[in-house]
Amino acid sequence: IWADVLGYVRKNISEVEYHTWFAPVKNLGVQEGSLVLGVRNSFAQEWFRKHYLELLEDALRSLGAEHPQVSFQVLPAAQDALLLPNDPPPPPPGNPARPAAPLIVPGENRKSLNPKYTFENFVVGPNNNLAHAAALAVAESPGKAYNPLFIYGDVGLGKTHLMHAVGHYIAERFPEKRIEYVSTESFTNELINAIRDDRTTQFRNRYRSVDLLLVDDIQFLAGKERTQEEFFHTFNALYENHKQIILSSDRPPKDIQTLEGRLRSRFEWGLITDIQSPEFETRVAILKMNAEHNRIDIPQEVLELIARQVTTNIRELEGALMRVVAFSSLNNVPFSRAIAAKALSNVFAPQEVKVEMMDVLRQVASHYNMPPDVIRGSGRVREVVVPRQVAQYLIRDLTDHSLPEIGQFFGRDHSTVMHAINKVSEALGKDSELTASVELLRRKMKG
């Protein structure tokens, strides 16, 4: 039946569309009267619902179905060799002769983890290198390096990804270790249900017997006294037994309002680290990895254009890539800068102000309290060189200008500009004063 459906579909859409969308689909059979199709990611799932549901229903009707139903399921990334290079081996066959030892099924302990969120799939840049290093240290010696590890940053910057990465790392090396990932929201709801059903003991046992506890978006503890109380005891039980705890939040502990002092101070016992918005090169690298994983062959210059349009949120960055892919496949045209610009125009253009070189220079100049011409001049002292490098870095980050164009603007050649950009990139995340300046300026100019 699936082959017939495909045959029907193929007759009704373009070849490019067919190959982009239908070739990778897996038929998962019929469940409860509905044809279930496996798709690669949630974007594809949404796309199918919006654009191909009717076509698929028509196909089924043409095959005689009276009330055709189609549903879509995101395939676990494990089925994608590229996404999970370290796929766990299949579980060993049980040995009925010796049932004594509990059977440890490899991979069982990562049930609560997203298979995509591994260290391998995490692009490291100046915006997240400290958080990444801390996460890796914790993964290598859980309970010993930093406990708890507290990661904060704005939404869509990789906090959840990094937490899961630690989980995978530990799960792979220690199949017997119990790993639990939970959002603060689920933790709260489970607690409420447990109280209602008189199962608080079970609830406690569950969370106090893990080896690694990952609690996401802990800022939602604010104002929830009962949950804070319960979490306080969970925290203590784990901490005393040297079990690793990792917490994420959109802000540092000191900025979480109505959080009990004793919890706040515990959150500060270990290491607090943040993730910032990714800079241009990192954004391009993330897009590149994404394209490769999805087996999309897309030119570098198109990736760069996307990276210029979406600057703060990585989830949106990925969404923009998918939008460009969808747009060109639907219109049956190859990827190009023009197509990408068109695909993204109505989504991002209104918010993104076009920033020009002179604007950037003026902002940098006023930030450092220095005339623009001095920054553009030939002075070699540090007080001038740093603002100059920052200006070149930000122009590259925020505008469409090439290295030679920036060089010309500053009366220098493109390799000097490249050197300046590298200098700033390297210092970001290390030199806190510089990092703060760059962040502030970037935010200002994006208005």
Rank residues 42 and 332 by Cβ distance to ligand ADP and give the closer one.
Answer: 42
The long-range contacts involving 46-55, CB below 8 angstroms and separated by at least 24 positions, are 47/21, 47/322, 47/326, 48/21, 48/72, 51/330, 52/9, 52/21, 55/9, 55/12, 55/13
Rank residues 59 and 314 by Cβ distance to Mg ion and give the closer one.
Answer: 314
Cis, peptide link before residue 89, omega less than 30° from 0? no
Rank residues 278 and 387 by Cβ distance to Mg ion and give the closer one.
Answer: 278
Give, as one character, the DSSP assignment of residue 219: G
Place of tokens 């409860």: 32
Give, as one character, the DSSP assignment of residue 109: G
Residues of this chain, 115-144, that bind ligand ADP according to CB under 6 A: 117, 121-123, 128
From ligand ADP, Mg ion, none, interface partner of 118 (C-beta below 5 to 8 A by class) = none
Near ligand ADP by CB under 6 A: residue from 315, 430, 443, 444: 315
> Does residue 128 belong to the site contacting Mg ion (CB under 5 A)?
no
Q: Is 153 annotated as a binding residue?
A: no
Place of tokens 């209602």: 196
Quote the least distance from Cβ 285 to ligand ADP, whole Å: 8
- Integer Cα distance of 10 and 25 in angstroms: 13
Q: Is 429 annotated as a binding residue?
A: no
> What is the rounded radius of gyration, in angstroms, for the C-alpha atoms of the chain?
26
Q: Is 312 annotated as a binding residue?
A: no
Give the nearest residue (CB) to ligand ADP.
Answer: 158
- Integer Cα distance of 236 and 332 in angstroms: 58
Rank residues 275 and 340 by Cβ distance to ligand ADP and give the closer one.
Answer: 275
Q: Which stretch binds Mg ion (CB under 5 A): 52-60, 88-96, 159-167, 344-352?
A: 159-167
What tokens does 44 get?
A: 């594809």
> Does residue 160 belong to the site contacting ligand ADP (CB under 6 A)?
yes
Near ligand ADP by CB under 6 A: residue from 106, 143, 156, 252: 156
Q: Is 107 annotated as a binding residue?
A: no
> Does residue 44 belong to the site contacting ligand ADP (CB under 6 A)?
no
Give, as one character, the DSSP assignment of residue 33: T
Q: How many residues bind ligand ADP (CB under 6 A)?
A: 17
Closest CA to 252 of 177, 183, 152, 333: 152
Instruction: Find the largest Cα–Cα distance for the chain.
Output: 83
Helices 382-398, 357-367: crossing angle, 10 deg rounding: 140
Residues of this chain, 340-399, that bind ligand ADP according to CB under 6 A: none
Rank residues 287 and 420 by Cβ distance to ligand ADP and give the closer one.
Answer: 287
From Mg ion, ligand ADP, none, interface partner of 322 (C-beta below 5 to 8 A by class) = none
What tokens does 257 get?
A: 């309002």
Binding flags for ligand ADP, 270-309, as an x/- string (CB under 6 A): ----------------x-----------------------
Measured in whole angstroms, the distance separating CA 30 from the mean position of its chain's CA atoms is 33
- The binding site comprises 156, 158-160
Footprint on this chain of ligand ADP (rule: CB under 6 A): 117, 121-123, 128, 153, 155-161, 286, 314-315, 318
